[in-house]
Structure 1
Amino acid sequence: MVDVLSTRLQEVYAKWEARTDIPRDQESSSTRFTIDGLRRVGQQIQRRKIQNREVARKIRESSLYKIKESEPILPPFTGKVSFLHYCCKSCTPASRDSLVNTVTKQYKSTYGLNILLVNAGTTLFSKVFYHLSHVYSFEKYNYPRITQTVLNDERLKEAIKLTACDIATNEDCSEEQALQKAKNRAKAILSQMESKISDTLLRMTAWILYKLLPCFIQSAIVLPSQIEMLKKANDSGLPLVLLPLHRSHLDYIMISFITLSNNIRSPLIAAGDNLKIPFFGWLLRGLGAFFIKRRIDPIVGRKDILYRSILHTYIMESLRAGHNIEFFVEGGRTRTGKPCMPKSGILSVIIDAYMDGTIEDAFLVPVAMNYERLVDGNFVREQQGQPKKMETFGSTIRAIWSTLMGNYGIVKIDFCQPFSLREMLKSFQAQQNKIAPTQSPEKPLKYTMSSSSLYGTDVVDEEHRLLVDSIARHVVYDGSTSTPIMSTNIIAFLLLNKFRTGCTLDKLVEAFHAMRQELEWSNKDVAFCGENIDIINHALDILGPGLVKQQRQEITEAVDNQPLKSNFVIAIRPVSILPNVIELSYYSNTMLMYYIMDSIVVTAMYAELKSQMNDPAAIAENNITFHQYRLLEKTLKICDILKYEFIFCKPCQKLEDVIIETIDKLTNIGIITKDVGPLLDEERWCRRRAQDFDNSSDEEYANEIQIKKIKFKLNLNEEHSRKMEFLHVMLRPLVDTYTFSAFTLLKLVSRSLAERELVHEVLDEIKTNLDTGIAQYGESLSVDSIKNSIKLFEKWNVLECYPQENIKIYYLKEPFDNEIAAAEVYDSIAIYRWSKKTN
């Protein structure tokens, strides 16, 4: 029976293979091809035939002998859903079931909508002036001014009195004079801060954007289902709090453009006061921006109570008046392409507004945007340690002009599912109560001014701070995992991590296809479509010759004992010299979030197995093994080292569980296999103990012992070794940065340095190692990562910081202020920089 079934299956596969050889439909007879075009089409068809035959062969070999004992396996990719980014089912199950039920039924298609295109109307005016007609049709919203309401707030009046007391003391004036000065300063602060959003100006700007954006952007894509979801949330009467990850100055322009053109109330936008430049500051204020000082407290260690209270009150009263709010939870634009750690000041004010009853609830909406090419240029100068150039009227005009002359490809905007602030708060409080069983699980949320709040001055509420931080990290995690993937991201990622020394176009197409398929099967937001070869050529054009070099090379080869024949191939390699490689790494780092846990575990595996992986005897015997608990310890350690670079999991998840899931994933793809040996006496005892006693603590203890004895074996075949090395290389530039930063601690023994000097010491150390060949990755030169490493050493109590005239001074704390202790810190990080020897 098995033989008959196998024969029939071979016939089915043979017929299926024959069908795969059928080429695509022929072009119409009117189409004419050049000789090069025909040759290229023929090569594509031939490659496709070879790939299909190979796939069919692998399916036959891997499937026929398992058919008797296996269940039928469904295809792993059944197509995308119309809505990709649901909110967390653990934290916000009720929100997950709201807003999208009717939307997903209405919008089955996954095709995006290009918001730059406008359909002409039916009247003559709308056909001729279709942009003007479309803008005129926008729904009109009332945007109330709240200046006087803010000034009349009781808490602000109290802050004015406190400020007046300080003025009277410091300036030696009467109480009345001090009070008047405080009131005048409050009015001046509010005047410089407040938004003057105008419906008329919004419409005029929308019409201009319809004319200008197509000059440098091919398309701006959103999903219709997400727009309808936002409309339903907007119609609920609750304020929307839009929380985009920040990549470009174009972010807030695009979001306001989308909300306005889809009849959604435009938000008030928190903007840095560096954008308060002539004309453009007035324009942004009229479009909804309210300006916040970059440095809220002018003197380090002394809080500006008046400014904080005005900002706090302004946001609270804006929510009370029915305004939607938009702010960037990361604070500023990412300089590396990776999401930044959240800054939760404004989010704390939003939470305060709910807790004190200012608003009934609010919808939080994480937003993810991506660009094929960054409109703002690049951040190479800043990553090399040079100061940021401040925005001026002239620099803004020059930037706009150069932008209009450029080609920046596609922009994709994704709105994640809105979730209830109230539900999220209750969920996280319930989790905190589980961690702290002494607190009553029925303890209600209450309003307490938090230290993380922009207004809070004296009261420190750790519970509130943890709530705010958890929600902020959840938002950044959701936004980062929802970020659309552009073709330029994949190309840069492959070239820097797989083909750093270069590859042929055929090899790049093959690797691109495999990664694209993997991402689509994982239901990631792949923001491109079409033939792989066309997508790659488009991405190479967008990146440009400054980042990727293409050369036509001649190769000679002998085929079937025939004379040598010449053939031409296209060789592609990344520009891996400074400073170009830093800019290329920006596009590559967007992909890192999708592979970070795989890379973290493999990097920990290298550190754990360094003695075995360079042992010829162990390699010859194919016997490289390790215990799961040891790998788990190493992985948790490197996660602690890189905790200011990545958010590895949602706050509602346990990192240990995510690591074990990743280890299981590596097992499924064959990099490691579980080593099942005979049971040890300790394991047999644990199992008997668990059976004899119906006690949860005994079972937990037995399970803990069982987990500690799980053992794995490393697979050393060529395919799995290449995959493992690919995952390992992803983190090497970052590990190098932290390693050389730790090495610089040795130079800090018995010394103290200002932050800027310390950063430049690390930069010089990395440059020296790059010149000598000890370091191989130019993208290790990253000021952001160096500052994160300094923050890590502060958290580890290795470094101490004290402010001196607005300058941070760093020195080693007493236990580490010697070469031995500093070297131990260095060794604890350098172990993850280890690589296996190559022949």
Structure 2
Amino acid sequence: MVYLPLHRSHLDYLLITWCNWHFGLKLPHIASGDNLNLSGLGWLLRATGAFFIRRRVDPDDERGKDQLYRAILHSYIEQVLSKDMPIEFFLEGTRSRFGKALTPKNGLISNVVEAVQHGFIKDCYLVPVSYTYDAVVEGIFLHELMGIPKVRESVLGVFRGIFSGFSKSKQCGVVRMHYGRPIRLTEYLATITASLSSNHRTRPVRMTKLSTSFSYRELVPWHRTHSETVDDRTMIRAIGFHVVYEAQMMCSISPVAVVSCLLLAKWRGKVSRSTFERDCEWLCEKIIAEGGDVVGYQSKKTKGSALVKYAFEKLESCVEVTDEYVSPKESHSSFITLAYNKNSVICRFSIKSVIALTIVSRPSGTKLSIDQIVEDALSLCDWLQFEFMFCRPCDSLRELVHNVLGQKEWSDPIHGFLRSEIEDDGFLDAGGALNSGTLRVRDAKSRETLQFFANLVRPFVQSLYLISSFVVSEKCPTEPTSDNNIIRQLCQQSLAGDIDLPFAPLLESINSDSFKNALRVLKDKGLLQRSTPNSTARSGNSRLAELISNLERVLEVK
């Protein structure tokens, strides 16, 4: 049994161990970073099942030390699994700094896959695990989100954190754990192999990056135009993405996240409390309609007032509340805290939000073609590929976008968000497929709803714009420098108002996590150098200038 939880808090380690003990299951061996192997504390963690691994390895490794280390780690994991002992590690590699799932690392899961492929163990179960916290006990990583380097763990820091946790004036709230359906690794590998070989080719196709496929991160295992073998690295990568996607989608939504989502995506100013409570019920119903659930909410039974009251107790530091109105406090820390909570909701609406942003970015009344909406949405998903997992690796993102547009909420001839300029009975043909032709947003109410969904992802697009425009500006240092220095300076200058922008940035868009992902995608697409991104940004980079222009259109810059 291999437990693969998402990582939100240091409590994550304890919760699975406690649950296994409570239900009489074997306690897992837990892979832990060597940063927690502290004097006087490491032995205690080992006694409770932890084994320490290096967080970083030498990319050059001239003496072969890291090869030896990898071999020993691989053998250790094989031995643990061969003794029928469960193991636990975090595919994301570190705690999420901004409340959403991270792209998985391939190192540890590759040891498990190879152990099965090489016959050292017959099989194992992969168990996705996720958590819903009203509030993580460590609090929000405000300093790190401003680009300030993380303070290395110490024994003193651990005890200080424990005492500060116990000294909190109020409890952190509820924690809900979610165990996914165990996935037999051999069945998963066999399913992929069978699907790849079903085209009757002599060699199976390869999961690889294809320029026009538009599957999740362009990873398409079922694509039938290539005739090359499947490499193990890509197979392992696909398994990691599949597990993390399943874990994020089975996660319940906290009432704190629902309230934070509405405060940032719909009501950034003052709103009457009664209106806000009705909107809470509306959003909870939307989450349930998308296959999710909200902790403590029963459809058509729970009152929004109860959810709001509960959530405000956890958000009193960043929300102003009276009997008549509600509004977020105007500070960067307040908006970052709300955004951390809000981001757990986005996975339920990620594709819908991207489609909505492509629509509302055009002036009201503009005619749109279905093909144009689909292509723009796919392009935006591509630029946000390191922010969100839009679908499983084996899914076609293009088909999913078409499916969303074909939902009754969008295509209903009377109440749908969009209406056809040609057909009176909607824009679906008799078979339910999308008709070609022009569309408009139906009315002001539909546009308001689309604006809400668009605002879920708008801060991340703004972050991409901020980093893209900063590296080509005179404000960016001319001498080669690291990503962290660029991010830190951009955070500081953006908050100080020292950067000239064609729009007022949302405060939550100014954070190191989004800037780091933006730099990563710019490097991945070859727009910036990997080592020193600022050194070539100003040298007539026409592709980067084109991106900035397109982002200005999406962000409705006049």
Alignment map for 1:16-31 (pairs within 5 Å)? none
Equivalent residue in structure 2 for 1:532, among 304, 315, 321 = 304
- Give the match's secondary structure for 1:830: helix
CA distance in 1 between counterparts of 2:337 and 2:517 reads: 19
Q: Which one-letter code corresponds to 2:83 in the other structure? A: A
The equivalent residue for 1:826 is 548
More RCO (CA 8 Å, sep 6+)? 2
- Give the match's secondary structure for 1:306: helix
The equivalent residue for 1:499 is 267
Change (3 A) 1:416 1:302: farther
Alpha-carbon contact 1:372-1:409 (below 8 Å) kept: yes
The equivalent residue for 1:425 is 189
Q: Which one-letter code corresponds to 2:544 in the other structure? A: A
Alpha-carbon contact 1:801-1:811 (below 8 Å) kept: no
1:516 Cα deviation from its structure 2 partner = 1.7
Q: Which one-letter code corresponds to 1:800 in the other structure? A: Q
After TM superposition, the score normalised by the length of structure 1 is 0.58
CA distance in 2 between counterparts of 1:283 and 1:436 reads: 55
1:301 Cα deviation from its structure 2 partner = 8.3
CA distance in 2 between counterparts of 1:674 and 1:428 reads: 40
CA displacement, residues 657-698 of structure 1 (integer Å, 9 cap, x when unaligned): 0011111232246110234359xxxxxxxx9xxxxxxxxxxx
CA distance in 1 between counterparts of 2:406 and 2:378 reads: 16
CA distance in 1 between counterparts of 2:93 and 2:512 reads: 17
Equivalent residue in structure 2 for 1:762, among 479, 490, 495 = 490
The equivalent residue for 1:542 is 314
- Give the match's secondary structure for 1:579: helix
Alpha-carbon contact 1:502-1:572 (below 8 Å) kept: yes
Q: How many residues are paired up? A: 515
The equivalent residue for 1:629 is 371
Equivalent residue in structure 2 for 1:641, among 354, 363, 383 = 383
CA distance in 1 between counterparts of 2:385 and 2:543 reads: 22
The equivalent residue for 2:22 is 261
The equivalent residue for 1:293 is 54
1:750 Cα deviation from its structure 2 partner = 7.6
1:307 aligns with 2:69: yes
The equivalent residue for 1:326 is 88
Change (3 A) 1:576 1:360: farther
CA distance in 2 between counterparts of 1:769 and 1:247 reads: 32
Alpha-carbon contact 1:337-1:586 (below 8 Å) kept: yes
1:674 aligns with 2:416: no
1:310 Cα deviation from its structure 2 partner = 1.1
Alpha-carbon contact 1:737-1:766 (below 8 Å) kept: no
1:752 aligns with 2:480: yes
5+ residue gaps, structure 2, are 206-228
CA displacement, residues 590-649 of structure 1 (integer Å, 9 cap, x when unaligned): 111111111100112234xx2x53xxxxx4xxxx32211111111111011000111101
1:520 Cα deviation from its structure 2 partner = 3.0
CA displacement, residues 194-249 of structure 1 (integer Å, 9 cap, x when unaligned): xxxxxxxxxxxxxxxxxxxxxxxxxxxxxxxxxxxxxxxxxxxxxx1101000000
1:831 Cα deviation from its structure 2 partner = 2.7
Alignment map for 1:32-43 (pairs within 5 Å)? none
CA distance in 1 between counterparts of 2:243 and 2:388 reads: 13
Equivalent residue in structure 2 for 1:519, among 268, 287, 308 = 287
The percentage of aligned residue pairs carrying the same residue is: 27
CA distance in 2 between counterparts of 1:282 and 1:515 reads: 47
Equivalent residue in structure 2 for 1:350, among 104, 112, 116 = 112
After TM superposition, the score normalised by the length of structure 2 is 0.86
CA displacement, residues 707-733 of structure 1 (integer Å, 9 cap, x when unaligned): 6x6124223423212101111211221
CA distance in 2 between counterparts of 1:790 and 1:474 reads: 24
- Give the match's secondary structure for 2:126: strand
Change (3 A) 1:531 1:828: closer
CA displacement, residues 402-453 of structure 1 (integer Å, 9 cap, x when unaligned): 2123311111001011111001111122344458945159xxxxxxxxxxxx
CA distance in 2 between counterparts of 1:498 and 1:301 reads: 55
- Give the match's secondary structure for 1:590: coil
Which of the two has greater helix per residue? 1
- Give the match's secondary structure for 1:753: coil
The equivalent residue for 2:38 is 277
> Cα RMSD between the aligned structures?
2.7
CA distance in 2 between counterparts of 1:648 and 1:416 reads: 19
Alignment map for 1:80-479 (pairs within 5 Å)? 240-297=1-58, 304-406=66-168, 407-433=171-197, 437-439=201-203, 463-479=231-247
Change (3 A) 1:655 1:577: same
**Rg: which structure is higher?**
1
The equivalent residue for 2:224 is none
Equivalent residue in structure 2 for 1:482, among 247, 250, 257 = 250
Equivalent residue in structure 2 for 1:727, among 429, 439, 453 = 453
CA distance in 1 between counterparts of 2:115 and 2:59 reads: 26
Alignment map for 1:810-825 (pairs within 5 Å)? 810=533, 817-818=539-540, 820-825=542-547
Alpha-carbon contact 2:472-2:534 (below 8 Å) kept: no
5+ residue gaps, structure 1, are 1-239, 442-460, 552-568, 614-618, 679-686, 688-702, 803-808
CA distance in 1 between counterparts of 2:62 and 2:459 reads: 35
- Give the match's secondary structure for 1:364: strand
1:795 aligns with 2:524: yes
